[in-house]
Chains A and B, each alone.
Chain A
Amino acid sequence: MDYEPEVKKRFLSPNRVKSFEEGIVGVVTGESSDRTLNVWVRFQVQAINGLIRAIRFNVYGCPYTVAAVDWAAEWLEGRETGALLDLGMIDRRKELGVPVDRLGKLLLIEDAAAACQKKLERLTTQDGN
């Protein structure tokens, strides 16, 4: 399989891998997986005052999936937490050089990010109470 240089680079040297240390404030975890697509994605998001301060991820998947997760983590860091619902992986597909038959895998990245957003909302609600 021939990959775009950007995909190769992100796949071979992803940033923000691994997990936050235990006890770090403001961290939520969200994941999604699909056995039939051979993909699992987990984001850990540290959000403070509505801003995504840092992201970490782990992923099981093909090079396209790894590269896309790496891109997503980079894009999200520094944005407002609402951006977790704005990844827009369908639109990003061409930009990332991902073949259309792998789109299902990219949508799982959105699901993992959305799972983080849900947990952050719950946290905010609890804090509000």
Chain B
Amino acid sequence: MEAKKIYLDYAATTPVDPEVVEAMIQCLGPDGDYANSSSSHFFGKSAKVRIDTARGQIAARIGAEVDSICFTSGATESDNMALIGTMNANQHRGRHLITSTLEHKAVLDTANALKDQGFEVTFVDHDEHGVISTQQLATAIRNDTVLVSIMHVNNETGVLQDLAVLGELCRERGVLFHVDAAQSVGKVPLNVADFSVDLVSLTAHKAYGPMGIGALYIRKGMKIAPMTYGGEQEWGYRSGTLATHQIAGFGKAFALADPDQEGPLLAARRDQLWAGLKVIEGVSLNGHATKRSPHILNVTFAGVEGESLRTSLADVAISAGSACNSDVPDPSHVLRGMGLSDALASSSLRFSVGRFTTETDIDYVLSRVREEVLRLRELASGAPDWTVS
């Protein structure tokens, strides 16, 4: 088969949609809406219209009020703002934060930083599929718990948490609820009105928008402490000149990201891939068979060393885990947290399909994976049992 290069790492980032590119170009160049949207002259107002339009598009996509969308540089900053800003602004209520061991590093590292500053953090457990136990969360919530932070779609396994149930529990107990929804938009429905959620982290670049721009949904009426000062933009939560072109692209991307339309198409590609992989001996699925997003597939290839498999599949863009951690040879903390051994976690790959993935792409990837798994298993013939358990 002719050598190709196939991208199956849409969970890491997505190509910018051509319509999004066009929306961004209109905000660049001498003939575009390039001005500072804080300026009161005609040019500034024109740029502000772009910002307001985008803000409306993003709000509509998640069922939020327009003035609850605060622009940031991306989901990592949004996560930081949500956790640090909320805990700092609510110390009169307590100093306890709850999250899970399976969160993205942007949440875990922020939680640990808060711990170093004297806040208390509880990491709740989950089942072997990576689903958070409502009972465990209920037990963890205390009188001094301020915030619970749980991601909607796990970035490594695609597992979906039941936000409605978790959110309701938080609301009943008077605890604020933050959701990292970086992987959600365009794949699964996300409506803040359905979830009793107070803060939601969003990003553009995983939904065919540009990198470097995201948002934090802040429910109207709640306060967080700002982390960036100087200019009072975004109601003082996040000062700094707004990047009109990025925001315009963000808005357009979210306007195009229809999970009802795109979800089934992604699921079809993912299922095509899984149908071909599961017949290979020693292959197992990581995550939940049904409570999952349509675009992510995390698979263990027992007896095949992970770095070797990824290197062998140099023509296929995939990930060992979070892209943020791809170059680090440590096994995925998510898979380890779900009970996989170091060997099996290291032998796992994350495939993630997207808008531009074709049936032919999947067929090609399947043939390449089969070829390399066979080669590496032959190379490791006679290896000890720990390589497969």
Contact = CB atoms under 8 A, between A and B. Distances in A.
Partners in one complex: yes
Interface of A: 1, 3, 8, 11-12, 14, 17-19, 33, 35-36, 38, 40, 42, 58-63, 66
B327 A1 contact: yes
19 contacts: A1-B307, A1-B327, A8-B311, A11-B311, A12-B312, A17-B378, A17-B379, A19-B381, A33-B386, A38-B305, A38-B342, A40-B383, A42-B382, A58-B380, A60-B303, A60-B379, A60-B380, A60-B387, A63-B307
Interface string B354-389: 000000000000000000000000111111101100
B384 A33 contact: yes
Contacts of A3: 311
B311 A14 contact: no
B29 interface: no
Nearest to A33: B384
Given A1-B311, A40-B380, A62-B305, 10 more contacts: A12-B312, A17-B378, A18-B381, A35-B386, A38-B305, A40-B384, A40-B387, A58-B381, A58-B383, A62-B308
B346 interface: yes
A33 B384 CA distance: 8
Contacts, number: 55
Nearest to B346: A38
B173 to A, nearest CB: 42
B47 interface: no
Size range of the chain B interface in the assembly: 20 to 34
Contacts of B381: 18-19, 58
Q: Which 6 A-B pairs have the closest CB atoms?
A: A60-B380, A60-B383, A62-B307, A63-B311, A35-B386, A40-B383
B343 interface: yes
Contacts of B383: 33, 40, 58, 60
Nearest to A3: B311
Most buried by A among B308, B327, B346: B308
B329 interface: yes
A35 B379 contact: no
A51 B384 CA distance: 29
B380 A36 contact: no
Contacts of B386: 33, 35
A3 B327 CA distance: 12
B342 A66 contact: no
Nearest to B331: A38
A71 B139 CA distance: 56
Contacts of B346: 38
A34 B33 CA distance: 60
A58 B305 contact: no
A75 B319 CA distance: 35
B316 to A, nearest CB: 15
Nearest to B303: A60
Given A11-B308, A36-B342, A59 B378 contact: no
Nearest to A63: B311
A11 B379 CA distance: 10
A72 B46 CA distance: 68
Nearest to A36: B342
Nearest to A12: B312
